[in-house]
Structure formats: C-alpha cells, structure tokens
Structure 1
Amino acid sequence: MYEAYLFTLIMPAAVLAYINADLGPDAKYPWITVCWNLGAAIIVTVGGRLADIFGRRYFLLTGAVSAAIGALVGATGQSINQMIVSGVLFGFGGGFQEMTFACAQELVPNRYRFATLGVMILANHVSSFGPLIGYAFITYTGIGWRACYWFCFAFESTTAIMLFVFYNPPTFETKHEDDHKTKWQLVKELDHVGLWLFTGACLLLLLGLNWGGVSYPWGSAHVVAPIVLAFVCAVALGFWEVYANLKYPILPPKLFKKWRDFTALLVVCFVAGMLYYSMNVLWPRQSQLLFVPANDTIIRGVYANMVSFGTIIAGWYCVTVMPWVGHERWQLVVLIVAQTALIGSMASIGINDKAQAIATVVIVSACNLPPSPLSFGMVSLGLDDQSDIGVAVGLISTFRLIGGAVATSIYVSIYTSRYTNSIGPTLQRYVQDTGFSGSFSQLLKATTLNTPAAYEKVAGINTETVKAAQMAVKVAYVGSFKVVYLVAIAFGVIAISSALSTRSVRKENKSNAQAVTLETERKAVDV
C-alpha cells in the first residue's frame, strides 16, 4: 500500500508536461497533481480520526479502491479536466493510505515501532525510481504516459486485494466492546463542526496558495480571500476545540499542550515538507535548464530521479541506524542541521557545477526524509492514549503536506519573479556584442520558450546571438534559484530550533506493550 500510494504521487508529477502536450495545452494542467496534495492533506487527519473511532480496515480499502479508480480514469483520460478528476481520486485515496504509518506502528510491540517505520521507508526502493520508470514508459511504450497510470492501477488493485485478504485490524465491535456504543451513537458524538472547520481551513489555504501567481495574481481577491478565510476558519477551529465539550475532537487540545512530544514535531515536519515536496518541483526544473540535453528523455528522467536516489539512502539509514541508536532528539537535530547547511551549498551552484549539484541534491534528500519517520515514532510513543494514534500521526502528515504546498508556492513565486526582473538586463548584456540587428523585445519573448525554433523566428538573429541568449537564460535562472535556496535556509533555522526543543522517547515507553492485535491473532489466541 505504501508503494502504491507513493507511485500515485510521484509518477503523474514526473510526466505532467507530456500529459499537457498530448491533451492540452490547458493552463489548468498543474491541478492534476495539486489535487493530490489538496485531498491527501485533508483526508489523512480526518480519516485518521474516523479510523481511530470506527476501525481502520474499510478506510484503507476505500483508499486503495479510490486510487485504483483514479488510475483507471487517468489511463483512459481524453481531456485535462478528466485528468484532474483522476488527481482528485488519487488525493482522496492517498489521504487514507497515508494512515499506513499509524496502522503499522500499532500492530507491533512499542520497542519495534522505529524498526517497523524503518522497514517501511526502506520499501520505497521501487517507487523511488518512479520518475525514471515514467520517462522509460514514454520513450519505449506505444501508449506513452498512459502506461504510468496503468502501472498505478495494477499496484493499487493488488493493494486492495491484499488488504482485503490479509489486513484484519480490530473491528468496530472489538474497539467498543467495553463501552458498547453503536455506530449511530458515535456518529452523533463526532466533532462535526471541527471537521468542517478543519476541512475548510486546509482547503481554502491550499487553494489560495496554488492559485497565487499561477491562475491569478497574488494580490487578487481570488488569492487573498481564500487565505484570509482559511485563517478565520483556523482561529475559529482553535477556539471550538478548546472550549466546546467534545467527546472526540478532531484536534485534541491535549496533544497541542505537549510541546516537546507533539507540537514541536509538527513544526519540524512542516519545514521538512517544505523542502521535500518543493525539491520535487524545483530540482527537475533547475536540472533541465542547466544540465540536461534538450532531447534526451532518459537522461532527463535520471536527473528528475536524483531526489528519489537520496530517499533510497535514507531508507538504509532508517533501518540500520534510526531504530537502534536511540537519542531521537539529537538525530533530528543533526539531520536538520545537515540539510540546512547543504541548502546553502545549493545556493552556490552555477552553470558548470553539475557534480556539486548532483551530490548535494542526493545528500539533502537523504537527510530530509528520516525526520518524518522519527517524528511519527516520537509522537506515537509519546501519547498518553494510543486510541489517538491515527489523528496524531495524521496531523504530522497534514502539516508535512501543507508545508510542501506553502513552500512550492513561495519558492516558485520567488524564482519566477526574480527571473522576470533579471532576464531583460542579463540578455541585453550578453547579446550586445553578437551583432544582433533585430528587435530586442522579440528576442526577449523568444527566451520564454528558449528553443531553437523560437529563436529562428526572430528577425536579424545569428548563431552567436542564439548562444548568448541561451546563456543569458541560464545565468538569470542561476541567480533566481540562489535566492530561493537562501530563503530556504531561514526556514531550516526554524526547524533546528524546534528540533532542539523536542525530547527523545523515554526508555520505559519502548516496552513490549502492543496497542492493538489483529483479529486473526486474537482468534488464534482464543483457539
């Protein structure tokens, strides 16, 4: 399930440009993947809370089936709108599937929770090659990018079958064998107002951030209004959760009061998400502009895969080091300090620094992933009541996803505006001695596409001018990405401060106690 979930996140994002070229062009095409973040960020916490109350089995099955249908819709898609529907189904399913981190932890003795998380992260070896597999499908199959969706359909369908056959966590009756409450009683006790406020706050915030600078200007009402309303919903949600007398609050106040065991880890994962998800957007763009031959699809896939190569290294760390050395707080601090320092290295990358760029991206990614499973384990083992594990781990995932959405919007806005302001003067400087006799405005317009065909349409152009213009584009982008990475350092400092304020898991919490038992195990014990 974890692998299937990752493929629905990674593969469509890797081939997005090819989908738009085939079914578009349509300015809405980024929403094919934006919808994944929108849906998953909301569902993972809401679904986690509902699964805490009603049982997990059918929520996970719903996630797998929804994602399988989304893959089928995408594989047969004939328009960008249909592909966006596929993305919505992926996000809805992905939110339930993200609960896998809570589901796995509660099934093993507490002392093995970090080891279990490590094995799960190690399992991402296959999905880590998702971008490269996607580009290989495009290059070597007749159906091109659609093969990615059929691949996801096969994975999700297998997941659904395996969940149905093998996954039997405590049923509703088992979870409530002491209080004897019915489903209808629990439905009435749900935090309905909190659910709507939480959903509205997340949805409006993510919509505003994704519209800003892409669909509408940042200062427009379409962007400002959703963000302001999201803030209002968040404030109202906070007051409601604290002062309403709720049996099952969607955001349990008792969790947020535990700064060292919970809230500080939310901040850490928010910043980790800012780096992880934004790197999946920034690095492919940066590498294609600076280092990748224009017509080499496979090499483009290899470069796009560099972030995932780092996650493979992280998987080995999570299995061989993370569970056994303890001192989780200091592991967090060292990893976040390392990735913040390496982001400074990314800010110094120039046109001829290919080796430095590749090495830095891989190591940054390797340092960026482990804080998430560390946080999942620290949160779950710091709970006073294990019945809150779904919502607690779900909130960590939600903050990580929202962090990625916030960072992607901020960073793309920074490098786009910086590039727009610098390309004109840079181009003027580079072409002034090339003998160009045509219209500078036409040449500037041609840099938008930056292709030989675009430059050929400019009157009075020559070979030297084309080379100079292409170099000017690279130089302008180098300066733009530098500013982005310098801004990212500031967020890294915030994460370091938060990591220092956490605390390692107490040794007595790493016991042989087990939160829940599979129904099949219970029956075996009874027999």
Structure 2
Amino acid sequence: MEIEKTTTRHMEEPVPKDEGLARLETRYTDNYHGVHLKTVLVYIAVCLIYFVQLFNVVGSGAYARNIAAAIGGAGEAVWLSQAIVIVTVVLGPPASQAADYWGRKVFLVIASLFGFVGALILSRATSMNMAIGGQVISSVMYAGQPIITAVASEIFPRKFRPIAQGGLNLGGAAGAIVGILAGSALTNNHLYGWRNYWYIVAALLGVSTMIIGILYRPPPRPLQQTLTLREKLARLDWNAYILLAVGLTLFTIGLSWGENPYPWSNVHVLAPLIVGGCFIIALIVHQTIKKDGLIHHDLFKNDRNFAVALGCFFADGMIFWAANNYFAFEVSVLYEHSPMLVGLRFCVAFFAAVVASCSVIFITLFTKSVREPIVVSFVMFMIFYVLMATANLRSANAMWGYPIFLGIGLGWSLTYLVTAAQLSAPPHMIAVTSGILLAIRSFGGSIALAIYTAIFNSSISTKLGAGTAAAVLPLGLPPPELERFIGALASNNQTALIQIEGVTPQIIGAGVHALQIAYLASFRGVWIAAAVFAGVTVIASCFIVNPKKDLNNHVDAPLED
C-alpha cells in the first residue's frame, strides 16, 4: 500500500515510442517496504568494488617509488596516479550517462574486468611504460565509480542516503587501510614486493566482479525498454566526450611536464597547456549552449546545491591528492625508515575516516544536517595541512596525530557532498550527477597533482644542491664528488656513500641534515597550497542548503517490486 508523499519533482517516464519521451510532473510516493536481503547483498557487492578501487588508488601513490626503484622511470612515476584521475574524468561521465539507457550492471561488470586485466599487466611490468600502460587499462574500472555511487543511493530510501554513502566511504577507507598495511608488509625489504600488491588487486577485482554479476539483477530501467539502439546513441553527448578527453589529457600533460623535466617556457609545456585549455573552454561553451547535454541544465534548477557541490568536489580532489602522494613520502624521508610504520602512520587517517563514516548514522537520524558536516570536513582538511606546513624535524611524534584531522574530513566530505548533489538533481539523472561529481573531483586531483609536482620539483631541485654544497664542501668533500654524494644521499645508498673519496661520518651527517632541510622546505610548499584550497572551500561550502524535506521514504530504484 502506498502512502501519499508531499514532494513534487520532474522525472522521466516511458511513453509510446511514437510520442517520444516527455518529462512529466510526477508525485513521489513512500514506496519503502523494508530492506530486503537482495538489496543488502547488492549493497555489500558495490562496497567491495569501492574497497578495491581505493586499495588501488592508495597503492598508485604510496608505492610508485617502489616500482620505480625496481624497474626505473622515477620521473614518470607520477603517471601511475595521473592515469587514474584522467581515465576517471574521461570515462566516468559517458558511462554514467549511458547507464540510464543500457542499465547499470553491464558497465559495472565490464569496468571491473578491465581493472582485473590491467592489474595483472602492472604486476608483471618490466618497465615504467609497461606499468603505466597496465594502470591505464586498470583505471577503466573507475568508470564504474559513479554508477556504484548511484546504485548505493537509489536502492535505499532517500532518508538513508547519507548512511548509504557513508557505508561506501567506510568500504573505501577499509580498502585504503588494508592497502597501506599490506603494501608496507609486501615492500618491506622486498624490491619486487609491489608485484604481489597488484596480484591482490587483480584477485579482489575478480571476486567482486563475480559477486556483482551474480547478485545484481535490477529491473530494466524505463529508458532501456523504450528507446531503440539508434535513439540511445543519439542521446549521448559525443561532442562533450571528445572535448573533455582531448582537453583534459593535453592540459594534464602540460602541467605534469612543467619543471618535470621541461621549464614552463618550453614548447613541450606550453603547447599542450594552450591547446588543452582551448578544448576545455570549448567544452564549457558547448555545455552552456546545449541545455540537454552531458551537464544537463535541469541539474541546476531545484536549488544551488548541485552547483556548490560541483565546486567543492573539484577542491576535494585537489585536497586529497596532496596527502595521498606526499604524506607517506615526507614521513619516509624525514621521520621513519620502516615501510610498515610509514604505512601505519598514513593508516591513522583512514581509521579516523572509518569512525567519521560510522558517525554519519547518528548525524542523519538525529539532525538530518548536510551543510554543517560538509563545512566541518573542510575545516578539518585545512587544520591538517596547516599543521603539516608548520612541521619541523622534531615533529616525528606529532605525525601520528595530524592524520586524524585528514581522516575526519575524508569521512564526511564525500558522504555529504554526494548526498546534497543527488538530492538536488532530478531522480532520473542520479547516475550522471554522480558521474559529473566524481569526474570533476578527479579533474581537480589531476590538476593538483601537476601543481604539487611542479612546486615540489622546483623547490627540491634548487634547495637540495645548494643546501648540501653549503653544508659539506667546507668540511672537505672534494667538489667533483658533490653530484655523486647528493645522488647517493638522496637514494639512501650507504654503500655508494662510503665509496666516495673524502667522505667522513661528519660529512655524511651534515649532508643528511641538509637533505632533510631541503625536503622539509619543499614539502612545505605543497602543504601550503593544499591549505589554501581547503580554506577557500570552507567558505564555499557554507552556501549548501540543508535538504531536510527530501530525506524521505521514497526509493528511487527499488530492487524489489
């Protein structure tokens, strides 16, 4: 029996083909009749896929240097992370838009199979190019990430939506924790231990793909049954896909090459930046003119939450990738030599994220607040990066506590931003809404990675040589041996150090201290940039509207009749 509901929205319903598809005024009903076992099993399956995706993300950042140490290509190692963010941006929105026409399941299964194959290739890589190629193939699984987010929301009542998203983040945090601890154990004193890490990725993807293939059997969506293949293909925004793919790829290449290895004035940097920027501007113009394109104008009609969430998601991507790529790096260089303990320090953030995700249950049941947790999450990010920027060589113990602030931010930001944006959008656009959000987050991460890499490389290239020379040459190190000394010092190669002519324990000690000072200053530039991004987003997030009236009993896509 259906209970009448008060909310009225636009949603897409099937009508006879000769009449086309009209957007009709439809009244929501409280169609919630309890949570069934089938729904719970599907939710567990999508959480498992999310677990594997975060497992792979953490590995791409934390163990890129381990891969480079074994097979070379340290200068290109950043592309192991860049591949993920680029492929997510390029494939996420098209896949989420197409999922409304062909159904969710086929894209989830195919994306996960690509991830399985790519992980196997990466695990057997004999060169950095092969490793990056494997990661590119594996990254196709992130095309299913927005669909996972949509499925988790639409199979439960809207009042449980923050809890459903919190559970996804809980699975992601668990994947990050297991990834860090397992990876630390596998790479500790094992040059090729990272191969086993990606064997695990492949195994988990294989299991999760089988689970989703067997358990997830959703009823056909209205547009699946109503439209012909030609009509479905015509509804996809092909121009936007091309502009997005070309523009983002070129723009990211230009940013990544800035000071790594080319100067900003070099044609290798300027050409892709300019051409990529023109494609991105063309995409913005195209989406402004085309009202029913990839970024449908109806997404902005209900309230301002989708627009604000879009900006916050972009910043969230910029904020997260600073910690993902540089926290463990700084700890390993300055404070801790054991890979296991380095990983455990980073794990503190994800343990805090687990606690924060669990607290979503109580926040949702007792307050139904969305804006306040979002604001607090970005305040936590800002506190974390300010603390990191003020760290010194005596901050080893404090580095155990700083990640708690990062974890609280991670546990709340994605949960509530996704909830606010999805509730703001028409229900038939929940998948493409999730796709655009996660794409803009990855786009922010892609740009931020290039910015952080340029900041760090520019700083370390000037400070390390000058600082080390000033510290060791007065102590008697022969000038011709300076370059070898710095190289051995930076790679922590004790055997090479003691073979350098004129080296003494005093010189090595002075060199280590100079190296630490140079790295500390270089990391500080990254943390300051991330803190600024977080501070601006705190202000922007205050404009989120609390959608309490939409947290009702309606289920957008029930699995049970």
TM-score by length of 2: 0.84
Is the CA contact 2:259–2:458 (under 8 Å) kept in the aligned structure 1?
Answer: no
2:395 paired with 1:363: no
SS of the residue aligned with 1:216? coil
| Aligned counterpart, 1:525 | none
Structure 1 CA distance for aligned equivalents of residues 390 and 75 of structure 2: 33
% identity of equivalent residues: 22
Matched, 1:401 2:442: yes
- How far the C-alpha of 1:468 sits from its partner, in A, is 0.7
Match of 2:392 in 1: 350
Shift of 1:257: 6.2
Task: Give the deviation of 1:437 after TM superposition.
Answer: 5.4
Task: State the AA in 2 paired with 1:455.
Answer: L
Structure 2 CA distance, aligned partners of 1:326 and 1:245? 32
Structure 2 counterpart of 1:22: 70
Pair 1:282 & 2:282 matched: no
Work out which of the residue numbers 205, 214, 220 in structure 2 matches 1:165.
214
SS of residue matched to 2:402: helix
- Per-residue CA distance 1:94-147 (angstroms, 9 max, x = gap): 222342111110111111111111122222324422022012223498972221
| Structure 2 Cα separation of the partners of residues 123 and 303 of structure 1 | 19
The equivalent of 2:250 in structure 1 is: 204
Return the offset for 1:79.
3.4
Q: Deviations over 1:73-109 (max 9, x none)?
A: 2233343333222101121112223421111101111
The whole-number CA distance in structure 1 between the counterparts of 2:465 and 2:130 is 38
**How far apart are 1:316 and its partner, in Å?**
2.7
Q: Distance in 2 between the 1:155 and 1:446 partners?
A: 38
| Structure-to-structure mapping, 1:277-356, within 5 angstroms | 277-293=321-337, 296-321=338-363, 324-356=366-398
Within a 5 Å distance, the mapping from 1:171-182 to structure 2 comes to 171-172=220-221, 174-177=222-225, 180-182=226-228
Aligned residue among 70, 78, 87 for 2:135: 87
- Pairwise CA distance, 1:438: 5.2
Deviation of 1:231 (Å): 2.2
Distance 1:2 1:18 in 2: 24
CA distance 1:301–1:493, shift in 2 (3 Å): closer
The partner residue of 2:312 within 268, 278, 288 is 268
Match of 1:461 in 2: 503
Secondary structure of the residue that 2:554 maps to in structure 1?
A: coil
Counterparts in 2 of 1:411 and 1:29: CA distance versus 1, 3 Å = closer
Q: Within 1, Cα distance between the matches of 2:167 and 2:133?
A: 33
1:69 matches 2:117 = yes
Q: Relative to 1, partners in 2 of residues 1:243 and 1:417: Cα closer, same or farther, differing over 3 Å?
A: closer
Q: Separation in 2 of the partners of 1:425 and 1:323?
A: 58
| Counterpart in the other structure of 2:185 | 136
Instruction: Name which of 450, 467, 472 aligns with 1:426.
Output: 467
Change (3 A) 1:487 1:12: closer
CA contact (8 A) 2:302 2:424 kept: no
Deviation at 1:7, TM superposition (A): 1.9
Cα RMSD, aligned residues only = 2.5
Q: What do the CA deviations read for 1:480-504 (whole angstroms, capped 9, x no partner)? A: 2223222322212220121012211
1:32–1:86 contact (8 Å) kept in structure 2:
no
Query: Residues 381-392 of structure 1 correspond to what in structure 2 (within 5 A)?
Result: 381-383=423-425, 385-392=426-433
8 Å CA contact 1:138–1:145 kept in 2: the answer is: yes
**How far, CA to CA, are the matches of 1:415 and 1:306 in structure 2?**
24
Answer yes or no: is the 8 Å Cα contact 2:186–2:197 preserved in 1: yes
- Unaligned regions of 5+ residues in structure 2, if any? 1-48
Aligned partners of 1:110 and 1:512 also within 8 Å: yes
- 1:285 Cα deviation from its structure 2 partner: 1.3
Secondary structure, counterpart of 1:145 in structure 2 = helix
Counterparts in 2 of 1:210 and 1:169: CA distance versus 1, 3 Å:
farther
- Aligned counterparts, 1:468-483, within 5 A: 468-483=510-525
Candidates 287, 309, 319, aligned match of 1:241: 287
Tell me how far apart the structure 2 counterparts of residues 205 and 323 of structure 1 sit (CA, whole Å): 44
Per-residue Cα deviation, 1:399-445 (whole angstroms, up to 9, x for no partner): 21122222222122212222333334433553466454554744455
Q: 1:272 to 1:254 in 2, by over 3 A?
A: same
Is 1:192 matched with 2:238?
yes
Between the aligned partners of 1:408 and 1:259, the Cα distance in structure 2 is 32
Q: What is the DSSP-based 3-state SS (H/G/I as helix, E as strand, rest coil) of the residue aligned with 2:265?
A: coil
Write the distance in 1 (CA, Å) between the matches of 2:365 and 2:348: 26
Cα distance, 1:476–1:74 mapped onto 2, change above 3 Å: closer
Does residue 253 of structure 2 align to residue 253 of structure 1? no
> Is this contact kept in 2: 1:75–1:146, CA < 8 A?
yes
Q: Check whether the contact 2:257–2:268 (CA below 8 A) recurs between aligned residues.
A: yes
Counterpart mapping for 1:109-120 below 5 A: 109-120=157-168
How many residues align structurally? Answer: 511
Q: Following the alignment from structure 1 to structure 2, what is the Cα–Cα distance between the partners of residues 25 and 243?
A: 44
Change in CA separation of 1:337 and 1:515 when aligned onto 2, cut-off 3 Å: same
Q: 1:39 corresponds to which letter in structure 2?
A: V
Classify 1:501/1:5 alpha carbon distance in 2 versus 1 (closer, same or farther; 3 Å): same
Q: Separation in 1 of the partners of 2:97 and 2:197?
A: 32
| More displaced stretch, 1-10 vs 418-427 | 418-427
**SS of corresponding position for 2:125:** coil
Distance 2:449 2:482 in 1: 30
Matched-pair contact (CA < 8 Å) for 1:436–1:465: yes
Distance in 1 (alpha carbons) for counterparts of 2:557 and 2:190 = 45
The one-letter code sitting in structure 2 at the alignment partner of 1:175 is: L
Q: Which residues of 2 match residues 428-447 of structure 1 at below 5 A?
A: 428-431=469-472, 434-436=475-477, 439=480, 441-442=482-483, 443-444=485-486, 446-447=488-489
Deviations 1:226-275 (A, max 9, x none): 222232222222222232464xx111133356672111111212222112
Q: Secondary structure at the match of 2:214?
A: helix
Check 1:29–1:272 CA distance in 2 against 1; reply closer, same or farther (3 A cut): closer
> Letter of the aligned partner of 2:313 in structure 1?
C
Q: Give CA-to-partner distance per residue, 1:486-523, whole Å, 9 cap, x none.
A: 23222122201210122111x221111111122xx23x
Cα distance in 1 for partners of 2:215, 2:261 equals 45
Whole-Å Cα distance in 1 between the matches of residues 234 and 257 of structure 2?
36
The DSSP-based 3-state class of the residue aligned with 1:7 is helix
TM-score by length of 1: 0.89
Q: Counterparts of 1:415 and 1:142 in 2: how far apart (Å)?
A: 25
1:230 alignment counterpart: 276
Q: Is the 8 A contact 1:198 1:237 kept in 2?
A: yes
* Cα offset, 1:25, TM superposition: 4.7
SS of 1:513's equivalent in the other structure is: coil
Deviation per CA, 1:446-485, whole angstroms, max 9, x where unpaired?
5443532343343222110100110011112222222322
